[in-house]
Amino acid sequence: MAAPVNSIQNRASDFLGKNQDLALSAAVIAVLLILFVPIPTALVDILLTVNISISVVVLLSTIYLQRPTEFSVFPALLLMLTFFRLSLNVATTRLILSQADGGNVIDAFGGFVTAGSLPVGIVIFAILVIIQFVVITKGATRISEVAARFTLDAMPGKQMGVDSDLNAGLLTEQEARERRRAIEKEADFYGAMDGATKFVRGDAIAGLIITIINIVVGLVVGVWMLDLGFSEALQLYTRLTIGDGLVSQVPSLIISLSAGLVVTRTVSDDNLGKDLSGQLTQQPRALGATAAVMVVFGIMPGMPTLPFFAVGLFLAGLTYVASQMKVKEAAMNLEASYEAAEAAEEKPAERTEDLLTVDPLKIELGYGLITMADPGQGGDLLTRIQVIRQQTATKMGFIVPVVRIVDNMRLRPNEYQVKLRESVIASYELMPDHFLAMNPGLVEEEIEGYPTQEPAFGLQAVWVPARDRDKAERLGYTIVEPSAVVATHLTELIMGHAEELLTREDVQVLVNHLKEVSPTVVEELIPKLLTAGEVQKVLHNLLRERVSIRNLETVLETLCDYAPRTKDAEVLTEYVRHALAREICSAYGDEDAVLHVVTLAPELEEEVLNAVNTSQTGDYIPVPPEKADAISERCAEALKPLVVSGQDPVVLTSAPVRRYFRRIVERRIPKVVVLSYNEIDPAITLESVGQVSA
């Protein structure tokens, strides 16, 4: 039973959410009908109650505002409520004059406020009209006029300030556009409020005129048409008219007060209640002096003691609480000052040499992304980076240096940059309150969002709002959080620049760690056969092609075997790759131990080998750029079936050709994997899907 009810509720809420404009149009038409169509007394009671409740809601809403423009619909709402109230005046006047009955609400207000005395009711009604017309409405109108004039006068200066900040580079084009829109919105708001308050003043005058008409015409109707006595008619219609006037003037008074609160509200970080309590208790001495004055009044002859003493004691207690809060605040500020001073004393003076230090890896965040790196605000970027360092150590065999995270106010709010030794190697702009949705290739229905390109692999993606996350997952999209986007991007950058991150000092740390378990191989190789720098070159060559160096013992043992023959780092790297055949093949084979590859035509291999030249600095291939581009294009075309099927782009060549062929194609196909037959593990089954022709 609950399921159908929930379904009906969901459909109803969806209908109302999508047709709010229709609901407003229907309400306006209904108010128009009230002017011309007689309505039952019971319905009048309900509408009068609705009028009072709406005015109270508006008043309480203005108390919680932090800035006036948060309630930008108030001028239009004020006009609509005034029209609604005047329509109810017409309806109640029709009932009073035609039926001598205004309903239970009007009757209750008239009887309760007059307390059975006609003069009392007249006086109270007159006082309310004076308060409404002379004090609140007039004051709100004047404040609206002044605020509108000052806002319009300051508008050119504010816009010039935005243009100045934009030209100075302190704002982006988008931020400047938002600032200008906020300035225009503020000017429009105060201009609209200036006009809307005139309606409130006119409403007060109209209410007074309607009251006089109801009394005069009611006497005529009662005496001439209903055959009532003059005194009886005066008593009846005056009571009903006063009740009608009170029911109209009370909501009008509340709305006028709301208008005054809106136009007098200054921009603040808190609502009106917090500002009043905080600012009135800022000066405990003023509260204490007021408490003393109240007590003095209480002990003066002829003055009532209890009221003044009660208020005096309350103010005295408030003074004590405010004083304690002041003392506590001062103590906290003093303690913070001491801690800052101690930290300044303990912190050694920054040396000029310290400024020469360059961070190996750095992430600079725009101010809109700072929360991602703050665990106190739910940010998990630091945790993700720690996981990346651990995974890289496990997968690639070297320790990623500490990643420094700093803010950069010159970046766009949601932009970040990754720097490698102070050089920018990548940047991207996130949408922190959205999720990145990527199509894995199985999605048939597209989802609405902001198209983008995933930064790590260049895949097409869409930024979708948080509310559409579940929908995107149901459609089959892969959903990634903004912090995960940064982490994936950083991981790919680390893999792509691993050889630049591995310094000689890092190599020495790795060698020292290996020396604890395998001292013989280390002592035989370094420095007798190779220096640490020469070992570093071999490790760089391996990392450049994303070959893990975690099995460092095998790497060094292979170098021990072949270093006596050659010191060429390129040749030594090839020998090491042969020794690591099992690890290399396992990284690219599928679950069935099948390695899908593209081979080179024998003519192309021969052409590459014939092009190799030898110099004192090593071997090189003087292939013209157009020739290299042609070979790369044929290679990319041959690899296309592998890429489409989700396989790694692996090219298989003979051992002498492998490194030279990769040099030719790596510029156009940076992620190509070039293996030699000597690097194929016997347990792996080869499956060729194509050939790169000459």
Q: What is the pLDDT of residues 647-674, one digit of tens each?
A: 889 999 998 888 888 888 888 888 889 9
pTM here? 0.52
Residue 348 within any structural domain of the chain: no
Q: Which of 600, 606, 692 is nearest to 652 (CA)?
A: 600
- Tokens (6 digits) for 593: 């131990």
Amino acid 1: pLDDT: 46
More confident residue, 617 or 372: 372
Q: What is the pLDDT of residues 245-288, one digit of tens each?
A: 777 777 777 777 777 777 766 555 556 666 666 666 677 777 77
Last residue of a domain, one of 453, 468, 497: 497
Q: Are strands 650-653 and 594-600 parallel, antiparallel or unpaired?
A: parallel
Is residue 399 within 8 A of residue 376, CB to CB? The reply is no
Residue 356 within any structural domain of the chain: no
* Helix residue ranges per DSSP H, 100-172: 104-114, 118-130, 138-167
CA distance 559 to 514: 15
Amino acid 224: pLDDT: 72
The backbone torsions φ and ψ at residue 412, rounded to the nearest 5 degrees and listed phi first, read -65, 155
Residue 147 within any structural domain of the chain: yes
Q: What is the pLDDT of residues 207-235, one digit of tens each?
A: 777 777 777 777 777 767 666 777 777 77
> How many of the other CB atoms lie within 10 Å of CB of 215?
19
Is residue 207 within 8 A of residue 249, CB to CB? The reply is yes
Q: Residue 428 — pLDDT band, cuts 50, 70, 90?
A: very high
Dihedral sign computed on CA atoms, order 435, 439, 443, 449: positive
Does residue 3 carry a pLDDT above 60?
A: no
Q: What is the pLDDT of residues 510-564, one digit of tens each?
A: 999 999 999 999 999 988 899 989 999 999 999 999 999 999 999 999 999 999 9
Matching residue, tokens 């003519």: 603
Q: Which of 427, 535, 543 is nearest to 486 (CA)?
A: 427
Long-range CB contacts (< 8 A, 24+ apart) of 295-303? none
Matching residue, tokens 């980076």: 385
Give residue 35's Cα distance to chain centre: 47
In order, the DSSP letters of 257-321 are HHHHHHHHPPP-SS-HHHHHHHHHTS-HHHHHHHHHHHHHHHHSTTS-HHHHHHHHHHHHHHHHH
21 and 70, same domain (yes or no) = no
- Tokens (6 digits) for 403: 């990643």
Name the strand (E) or helix (H) holding 181. helix 173-220
Residue 672 within any structural domain of the chain: yes
Q: Which of 101, 105, 13, 114 is nearest to 50 (CA)?
A: 105
Q: Please, which residues bridge with residue 613 across strands?
A: 620
Amino acid 31: pLDDT: 80
More confident residue, 422 or 115: 422
163 and 78, same domain (yes or no) = yes
Residue 682 CB contacts under 8 Å (≥ 6 apart), including other chains: none
Q: What is the pLDDT of residues 171-190, one digit of tens each?
A: 677 777 887 787 777 777 77
| CATH number where 407 lies | 3.40.30.60
386 and 432, same domain (yes or no) = yes
Does residue 349 carry a pLDDT above 60?
A: no
441 and 532, same domain (yes or no) = no
Task: Report, as an integer, the average pLDDT of 326-340.
Answer: 62
Is residue 106 within 8 A of residue 247, CB to CB? The reply is yes
Does residue 157 carry a pLDDT above 80?
A: no
Q: Which of 259, 81, 57 is nearest to 89 (CA)?
A: 81
CA distance 486 to 92: 66
Least confident of 166-170, 408-412, 530-534: 166-170
Q: Which of 3, 5, 92 is nearest to 40 (CA)?
A: 92
Q: Are strands 460-465 and 613-615 parallel, antiparallel or unpaired?
A: unpaired
Residue 202 CB contacts under 8 Å (≥ 6 apart), including other chains: 82
Helix axes 173-220, 74-99, angle to 10 degrees: 10
Most confident segment among 559-573, 579-593, 631-645: 559-573
| CATH number where 551 lies | 1.10.8.540
Residue 97 within any structural domain of the chain: yes
Task: Report, as an integer, the average pLDDT of 608-617.
Answer: 75
Cis amide leading into 527 (omega within 30): yes
Residue 155 CA: distances (Å) to CA of 150, 159, 190, 195? 9, 6, 12, 19
The backbone torsions φ and ψ at residue 533, rounded to the nearest 5 degrees and listed phi first, read -65, -40
In order, the DSSP letters of 365-401 are E-GGGGGGG-GGGT--HHHHHHHHHHHHHHHHSSPPP
DSSP, res 624: -
Last residue of a domain, one of 473, 497, 521: 497
Amino acid 561: pLDDT: 93
Domain carrying residue 25: 1-30
CA distance 416 to 405: 10
273 and 290, same domain (yes or no) = no
> How many of the other CB atoms lie within 10 Å of CB of 543?
22
Is residue 292 within 8 A of residue 82, CB to CB? The reply is no
Q: Which of 252, 297, 1 is nearest to 140 (CA)?
A: 252
Q: Which of 429, 487, 490 is nearest to 463 (CA)?
A: 429
Amino acid at 176: A
Residue 344 within any structural domain of the chain: no
- Residues 630, 631, 635: CA angle, nearest 5 degrees: 120
3-state DSSP assignment of residue 410: coil
54 and 195, same domain (yes or no) = yes
Does residue 344 carry a pLDDT above 60?
A: no
Does residue 399 carry a pLDDT above 80?
A: yes
Amino acid 417: pLDDT: 94
Q: What is the pLDDT of residues 480-507, one digit of tens each?
A: 999 999 999 999 999 999 999 999 999 9
Amino acid 327: pLDDT: 67
Over pLDDT 90: what percentage of the chain? 18
Does residue 347 carry a pLDDT above 70?
A: no
Q: In what order do the strands lie in the sheet with 361-365?
A: 403-407, 361-365, 415-420, 423-429
CA distance 426 to 413: 16
Q: What is the pLDDT of residues 228-241, one digit of tens each?
A: 777 777 777 777 77
3-state DSSP assignment of residue 451: strand
Q: What is the pLDDT of residues 68-104, one digit of tens each?
A: 777 777 777 878 887 888 888 788 878 777 777 767 7
- Residues 230, 232, 233: CA angle, nearest 5 degrees: 65
| CATH number where 643 lies | 3.40.50.12790
256 and 131, same domain (yes or no) = yes
634 and 574, same domain (yes or no) = no
Over pLDDT 70: what percentage of the chain? 79
Is residue 435 within 8 A of residue 547, CB to CB? The reply is no
- Tokens (6 digits) for 560: 């021990």
The backbone torsions φ and ψ at residue 433, rounded to the nearest 5 degrees and listed phi first, read -95, 15
194 and 222, same domain (yes or no) = yes
228 and 310, same domain (yes or no) = no
- Tokens (6 digits) for 328: 């506590």
Name the strand (E) or helix (H) holding 487. helix 482-496
Is residue 555 within 8 A of residue 539, CB to CB? The reply is yes
134 and 242, same domain (yes or no) = yes
Residue 154 within any structural domain of the chain: yes
Q: What is the pLDDT of residues 30-58, one digit of tens each?
A: 888 887 788 888 888 888 888 888 888 88
Most confident segment among 44-48, 129-133, 431-435: 431-435
Does residue 410 carry a pLDDT above 80?
A: yes
660 and 554, same domain (yes or no) = no
Q: Which of 427, 418, 411, 432 is nearest to 170 (CA)?
A: 411
Last residue of a domain, one of 313, 333, 353: 333
Least confident of 93-97, 333-337, 437-441, 592-596: 333-337
Amino acid at 132: Q
Residue 354 within any structural domain of the chain: no
Domain count, the chain: 6
